[in-house]
């Protein structure tokens, strides 16, 4: 929660709708990371109220604004000044207060997309780019690609006339920057003509097709299209892997969601609002915000490691929490601490059932108190109860660390603190218990990671990769 007082700098977002925006998460987290006394608030503005909203923001001494759909172009007449790049593409998404008390408009969608591409290692120089869509975000995307050295930019749109208009306007803007005409408008269905050239290209998906809940659609469904795609970026980031990205990945392309663009357009805006304080966001800070965005979009609020004893949960959860800079909860340790006795003692005095009740109670508390962004190392028997599995599904992404009975026996044979292994034939007990539990582990798992013959570091890296973190 950001601290506010009479000195708090206020920034915000105007648009319609704004209810599902992720910008407050970005900016309020940045404020807390950089120690700036600032809050960020979304404002839903009705169409007729745009001018009043801008003047009202000035009157209320609001220091910075983001502008989103449908006002990125309409807001320009109400600004004191516009940055030349934003003027060239005819759209702004960031307003910064001027010395005279008005607002100057910038386009950090474009700079954000460029930073995201740099971060992902997408090189535009001398490349052919195919942009799908000719709406608000396709325009800065086309300008950026041409301005950063792409050889040719094809702009494909369902409504051909719009592609023609946008291509003409972007080519005119490029001319004012002494760059030749590079943007070629096309009808969406004419993509086959590009395939005929046999050239490999970067494909950037700028339509709203595939956006949640329309997750089973791609603007081009033909698998042939994806064969020549070297890199594919979808500016839609909800879901993280759209159908367009799935098709591209399956055809062998490198794929990137639009979430990094969202991150960097926010970071660029934040730096503009705080330029007098000399604020520059480091890569580590950017990565930290990105992880929160990923967790938010993926709907995973926690990462939960489950598996049989000896599967590596404790070591791997520590490494994972360290790598992701998340806090760690070990459910066995929490129960031992709250009870003031060891699990061995709880088993001996109260019996296994009481211990299982304590586990359920703890999961219930995590769920109802909305604990977020923890790595949770789970007691080995927790997923056996159905009600526990239902709770686990609610609180995060579950990772099943799988190990063979032989590996488990090797890892735990000298450990005397395992009450369930106090058996004349522990190896046979492991085989039986594992057979009894495996279907429960698999049932609740979002991902499964085989841990046999792997180091804890390798397992950690595999989890991060599989969860796309
Ligand atoms: P927009 O101005 O409304 O443009 C929508 C585009 O999608 C138009 O080209 C439209 O074609 C096309 N389209 C819509 N439905 C279609 C369909 N069924 N078949 C074929 N084409 C279709 O929206 P925008 O501002 O450009 O944003 C587009 C998407 O980009 C948004 O959904 C948003 O998720 C994403 N975005 C992401 C970021 C980020 O930071 N990652 C930033 C901005 C936007 P017509 O012209 O034929 O209607």
Q: Could you tell me the distance, in angstroms and rounded to a whole number, from the CA of residue 211 to the centre of ligand 1?
A: 9
Give, using CA atoms, the residue closest to atom 20 of ligand 1: 158
The sign of the torsion formed by the CA atoms of 379, 340, 327, 38 equals positive
Mutate to test the pocket of ligand 1, among 120, 208, 232, 269 (most ligand atoms within 8 A of CB): 208
**Which CATH code is given to the segment(s) 9-106+263-291?**
3.40.50.10860
The percent of the chain in helix, strand and coil, each rounded to the nearest 5, is 50, 15, 35
Q: Could you tell me the distance, in angstroms and rounded to a whole number, from the CA of residue 19 to the centre of ligand 1?
A: 18
According to CATH, where is 3.40.50.300 located in the chain? Answer: 299-467
| 36-46: average pLDDT | 97
Q: Is the pLDDT of residue 1 over 60?
A: no
The finding on whether 236 has its CB within 6 A of some atom of ligand 1 is yes
Backbone angles phi, psi at 400, to 5 degrees: -95, 115
Q: Is the pLDDT of residue 275 over 70?
A: yes
| 137-162: average pLDDT | 97
pLDDT band, residue 232 (cuts 50/70/90): very high
Shortest-distance atom of ligand 1 to CA 217: 18
According to CATH, where is 3.40.50.10860 located in the chain? Answer: 9-106+263-291
Mutate to test the pocket of ligand 1, among 113, 154, 158 (most ligand atoms within 8 A of CB): 158
pLDDT band, residue 370 (cuts 50/70/90): low
What pLDDT is attached to residue 420? Answer: 61
Q: Which residue has the tokens 């735990």?
A: 412
* Of the candidate ranges 313-322, 364-373, 429-438, 458-467, the one whose mean pLDDT is the lowest: 364-373
Q: Which residues contact 145 (CB under 8 A, 6 or more apart)?
A: 124, 129, 131, 153, 202, 204
The finding on whether 136 has its CB within 6 A of some atom of ligand 1 is yes
pLDDT band, residue 367 (cuts 50/70/90): confident
Mutate to test the pocket of ligand 1, among 133, 164, 266, 268 (most ligand atoms within 8 A of CB): 133
Q: Could you tell me the distance, in angstroms and rounded to a whole number, from the CA of residue 260 to the centre of ligand 1?
A: 17
What pLDDT is attached to residue 2? Answer: 66
Q: Is the pLDDT of residue 421 over 70?
A: no
Which of 2-6, 14-18, 394-398 ranks highest by mean pLDDT? Answer: 14-18
What pLDDT is attached to residue 419? Answer: 62
What pLDDT is attached to residue 294? Answer: 83
According to CATH, where is 3.40.50.720 located in the chain? Answer: 111-257
More confident position, 413 or 226: 226
What pLDDT is attached to residue 139? Answer: 94
Q: Under CATH, which architecture does the 299-467 domain have?
A: 3-Layer(aba) Sandwich (3.40)
Mean pLDDT of the chain: 92
| 202-218: average pLDDT | 90
pLDDT band, residue 349 (cuts 50/70/90): very high
User: Catalytic: which of 46, 48, 51, 72?
Assistant: 72
**Which CATH code is given to the segment(s) 111-257?**
3.40.50.720
* Burial of 407 (C-beta count, 10 Å sphere; 0-12/13-18/19+): buried
- Clarify whether 243 is annotated catalytic: no
Q: Which residues contact 264 (CB under 8 A, 6 or more apart)?
A: 108, 111, 112, 113, 115, 116, 119, 286
């Amino acid at each position: 929660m950001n601290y506010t007082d009479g000195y708090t700098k206020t920034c915000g977002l105007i648009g319609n709708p704004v209810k599902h925006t992720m910008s407050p998460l970005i900016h309020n987290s940045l404020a807390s990371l950089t120690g700036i006394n600032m809050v960020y608030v979304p404002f839903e503005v009705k169409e007729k109220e745009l001018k009043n909203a801008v003047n009202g923001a000035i009157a209320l001494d609001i220091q910075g604004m983001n502008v989103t759909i449908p006002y990125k172009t309409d807001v320009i007449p109400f600004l004191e000044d516009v940055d030349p790049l934003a003027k060239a593409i005819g759209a702004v998404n960031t307003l910064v207060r001027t010395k005279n008390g008005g607002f100057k408009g910038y386009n950090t969608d474009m700079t954000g997309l460029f930073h995201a591409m740099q971060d992902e290692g997408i090189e535009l120089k001398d490349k052919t780019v195919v942009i799908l869509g000719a709406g608000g975000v396709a325009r800065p995307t086309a300008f950026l690609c041409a301005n950063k050295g792409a050889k040719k930019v094809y702009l494909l749109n369902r409504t051909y006339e719009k592609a023609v208009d946008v291509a003409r306007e972007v080519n005119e803007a490029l001319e004012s920057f002494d760059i030749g005409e590079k943007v070629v408008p096309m009808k969406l269905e004419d993509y086959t003509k590009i395939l005929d050239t046999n050239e490999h290209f970067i494909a950037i998906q700028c339509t709203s097709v595939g956006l949640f809940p329309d997750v089973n659609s791609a603007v081009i469904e033909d698998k042939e299209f994806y064969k020549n795609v070297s890199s594919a970026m979808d500016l839609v980031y909800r879901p993280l892997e759209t159908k367009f990205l799935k098709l591209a990945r399956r055809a062998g392309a490198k794929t990137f969601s639009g979430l990094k663009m969202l991150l960097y357009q926010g970071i660029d805006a934040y730096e503009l609002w705080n330029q007098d304080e000399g604020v520059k966001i480091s890569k580590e800070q950017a990565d930290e915000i990105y992880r929160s965005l990923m967790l938010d979009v993926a709907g995973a609020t926690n990462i939960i490691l489950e598996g049989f004893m000896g599967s590596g949960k404790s070591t791997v959860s520590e490494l994972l929490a360290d790598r992701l800079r998340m806090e760690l909860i070990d459910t066995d340790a929490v129960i031992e601490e709250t009870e003031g006795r060891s699990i061995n003692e709880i088993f001996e005095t109260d019996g296994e059932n009481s211990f299982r009740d304590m586990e359920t109670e703890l999961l219930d508390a995590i769920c109802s108190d909305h604990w977020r962004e923890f790595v949770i190392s789970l007691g080995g028997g927790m997923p056996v109860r159905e009600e526990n599995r239902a709770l686990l599904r609610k609180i995060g992404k579950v990772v099943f660390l799988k190990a063979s009975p032989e590996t488990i026996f090797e890892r735990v044979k000298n450990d005397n603190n395992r009450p369930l292994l106090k058996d004349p034939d522990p190896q046979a007990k492991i085989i039986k218990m594992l057979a009894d539990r495996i279907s429960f582990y698999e049932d609740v798992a979002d991902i499964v990671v085989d841990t046999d013959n792997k180091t804890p570091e390798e397992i950690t890296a595999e989890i991060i990769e599989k969860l796309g973190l």
